[in-house]
Amino acid sequence: MKRIGLLGAFIGLIVVVGALYAPHLYFEQLVLRSAATPSAGPIPKDVAGQWFDDYFLIQQIDASTFAIGEPRYYQGNYSYLILGTRRALLFDAGSGLRDMVPVVRALTSLPVTVLPSHLHFDHVGALGRFERTALPDDPGLWARVVNGQLTLTRYEYLGALDRLTPPTFRVSDWWVDGQHIDLGGRVVQILKTPGHTPTSVSVWDAANARLFVGDFLYPGELYAFLPGASLSAYAATTTQLLSWLPSQVSLYAAHMQEPPAIPAAPLLHRQDLQSLSDALRERAAGSTPAKGFYPRNYPVAGPVTLSTGFPWNLH
């Protein structure tokens, strides 16, 4: 009986630990199942924009704003080049599967500052490759800087999924929440928008009513179940954005809609953000049943769904 009791206690401990660390354990089993660094997929026939080569797709949003897509990368990443008269901001740095530097240099000769929307592996490929690299002014980040350089951690980077090693790069600037960045004749504002990760940021281009949102919202499955994600932060950020964004606002995201949609810069609107807010509220109230065990999936609107962890993983 004593052995049975000890075994039961041990099994109970394993269950509790597994539940508490579900985001990390789920990630590790994904790593075990993953094959290797991906290769470029087939070239799509119909696209929005012009090919730079056979991999990068350039879509001009206006005379000084460009979306740089990777439709052959399995996650369909999009980065955004925002030009002023004195310098440029590259928001997100691509997957790194192919070198983004020649694309950016073909579009501008201005000095470029790179700002990743967050630090997952598919958004930091070109960090350290341009004149300056900026990160959000977060104590947890700058406390780890050694000789001006930051090395990303395993669960911050998540690159083990593609057999990638966390990079080390030099940080030039630490931008605070709400800071205005003058690019010369064009000012953008940096906004902390946690939810997908704790250090996620967005870029607000007030003159053009555009919000570049990274992975906070995109047409697909929103990941709120991996290490660092937080539904309470998602809800707070969504509420804050809805409290001041104008009714006519363009939300440019970091991942394109999956086929059969034509590869294009992913464009969403205020109503999509409102639908996310509604879905978060309904999930909290328990009025929408989840599909799946882990992650737990909830409908939002159109192609957008919300994938979450267990309630106790969603601080």
Given the structure tokens 């350290």, which residue do they identify?
Answer: 128
Provide the pLDDT for residue 21: 82
Q: How confident is the model at residue 114 (pLDDT cuts 50, 70, 90)?
A: very high
Total-model pTM: 0.93
Judging by beta carbons within 10 Å of its beta carbon (0-12, 13-18, 19+), is residue 208 exposed, middle or buried? Answer: middle
Answer yes or no: is 208 within a domain: yes
CA distance 28 to 139: 27
CA distance linking residue 180 with residue 29, whole number of Å: 41
| CATH number (domain holding residue 36) | 3.60.15.10
Asked, for residue 168, whether it belongs to a domain, the answer is yes
In angstroms, the CA 220 to CA 259 distance is 11
194 has pLDDT over 80 = yes
Rounded to an integer, what distance in angstroms lies between the CA atom of residue 315 and that of residue 312? 7
Alpha carbon distance 235, 247 (integer Å) = 19
Mean pLDDT confidence for 139-167: 96
Question: Is residue 194 included in any domain, yes or no?
Answer: yes
Residue 8: inside a domain, yes or no? no
4-59 pLDDT per residue, tens: 454 444 333 343 344 568 999 999 999 999 877 789 999 999 999 999 999 999 99
Q: What is the mean pLDDT of the chain?
A: 92
**Residues 6 or more apart in contact with residue 45 via CB below 8 angstroms:** none
Mapped to the 3 state alphabet, what secondary structure does the chain carry?
Answer: CHHHHHHHHHHHHHHHHHHHCHHHHHHHHHHHHCCCCCCCCCCCCCCCCEECCCCCEEEEEECCEEEEECCCCCCCEEEEEEECCCCEEEECCCCCCCCCHHHHHHHCCCCEEEECCCCCHHHCCCCCCCCEEEEECCHHHHCCCECCEEECCHHHHCHHHHCCCCCEEECCEEECCCCEEECCCCEEEEEECCCCCCCCEEEEEHHHCEEEEECCCCCCEEEECCCCCCHHHHHHHHHHHHHHCCCCCEEEECECCCCCCCCCCCEEEHHHHHHHHHHHHHHHHCCCCCECCCCEEEEEECCEEEEECCHHHCC
Q: Number of folded domains in the chain?
A: 1
- Asked whether residue 292 is assigned to any structural domain, the reply reads yes
Which of 3-7, 85-89, 119-123, 224-228 is predicted least confidently? 3-7
Mean pLDDT computed over 62-89: 98
- 91 is a domain residue: yes
In a domain, 200, yes or no: yes
Structural domain harbouring 243: 14-313
Residue 118 lies in a domain: yes
Residue 2, pLDDT > 90, answer no
CA distance 272 to 300: 8
